[in-house]
Copies of this chain bind each other. A is one copy, B any other.
Amino acid sequence: MTATILFAGGAARWPHWEAPLRRALSEAGIEAELATSAAPETVDFIIYAPSGDTPADFTPFTRCRAVLSLWAGVERIVGNRTLTQPLCRMVDPGLTQGMVEYVTGHALRYHLGLDAILAAQNGHWNPVVPPLASERPVAMLGLGALGAACARALAGLGFPVLGWSRTPKTLDGIDCHHGEDGLEQVLRRAGIVVTLLPATPATENLLDAHRLALLPIGAAIINPGRGSLIDDEALLGALGSGHVGHATLDVFRTEPLPAEHPYWSHPRVTITPHIAAETRPDSAARVIAGNIRRGLAGEPLLHVVDRGAGY
């Protein structure tokens, strides 16, 4: 049997994905008709990422067994009421690895004071030795696949990592907290805060004025998660007063971040253009092909989204 697979990731992405997907499907032993258009009633699987030309109405896809997201974050599709098929998030080892590199790189940048070093190439020899990582607690807000991997990498480099999740979790070597009380405890001790939570109604404005005020003075924030995790006005206020020392932001409520947004020109803000964790076509295509193989074999799909929780 040949499976019909619709690539609904947008025309711009197709050239990057076609070859890796065909290779991964072939390696997984799947006979497939893979295309960017197909009669809806013939489609067995949809590979999905939000874009101008991806479907908004899933009703006509009557035999579709699963919608497989190319993205880890599914907030732009999870609330679509026409989507009755199982929705699977991307859990891409390449994306996770990229996130670990971004988070450890920016955490070490803050820890070593690299911005000041780069700005002071002026002939003055002024030895200031930073404290050791063991003296710089890092709060990891979110302990899913990405947060847990980053927490482990930071702990491996010697940072004391304070993990936080909504529901209780346990990770070796990580001091794990949960719930509202746990969040306050974690924020009060954090020299660096990393926000790696999904965008849900429960995480909207997680870092608001009240919670930012709990941080030690001069703490730094790294947000490679979702723009909605931070109350932007509250962060600008905390940066302006110096209570928050610096913020490195990769994600925003509106992307691209408009050129006139105050973050761009703020001396205590570094913008990265949503590059912290990109799905890597090679490794992600193998994840997609693996889930299609499971679906065809009647095995349970991996990384199925809990519609109630939103991720």
Q: Are B273 and A127 in contact (CB under 8 A)?
A: yes
Q: What 1/0 mask marks residues of chain A from 94 to 136 whose CB sits below 8 Å from any chain B CB?
A: 1001101110111011011011011001111111111011100
A259 on the B face (CB < 8 A): yes
Q: Closest B-chain residue to A252, C-beta based?
A: B125
1/0 per residue, CB under 8 A from B, across A146-174: the answer is 00000001001110000000000000000
Say yes or no: B118 contacts A115, CB within 8 Å: yes
Interface size on A, residues (CB 8 A): 50
Stretch among A61-69, A200-208, A209-217, A274-282 lining the B interface: A274-282
Q: How many copies does the complex hold?
A: 2
- Bound Cα distance A106, B134 (Å): 18
Q: A270: CB under 8 A from chain B?
A: yes
Q: In the assembled complex, how far is the CB of residue A61 from the closest CB belonging to chain B, in whole angstroms?
A: 30
Q: Are A125 and B255 in contact (CB under 8 A)?
A: yes
Q: 12 A-B contacts, Cβ less than 8 Å apart?
A: A97-B158, A101-B111, A101-B130, A101-B158, A105-B114, A117-B272, A118-B270, A121-B264, A123-B259, A127-B274, A130-B275, A132-B280
